[in-house]
Homo-oligomer: A and B are copies of this chain.
Amino acid sequence: MNLAPVFSALADETRWDILTRLGARELSASALADEMPVSRQAIAKHLHSLAGAGLIEADRVGRELRYRALGAQLSALANDLDRIGREWDARLTRIKAIAERL
CB within 8 Å of B: which residues of A?
3-4, 7-8, 10-13, 15-16, 23-25, 68-75, 77-82, 84-92
Contacts and interface: CB of A to CB of B under 8 A. Distances in A.
Nearest to A90: B71
8 contacts: A10-B11, A23-B84, A69-B88, A71-B87, A71-B89, A71-B92, A75-B81, A75-B82
Nearest to A73: B85
Contact of A71 (B15, B25, B78, B85): B85
A91 to B, nearest CB: 7
A7 B11 contact: yes
Contacts of A13: 4
B86 A75 contact: yes
A82 B78 CA distance: 5
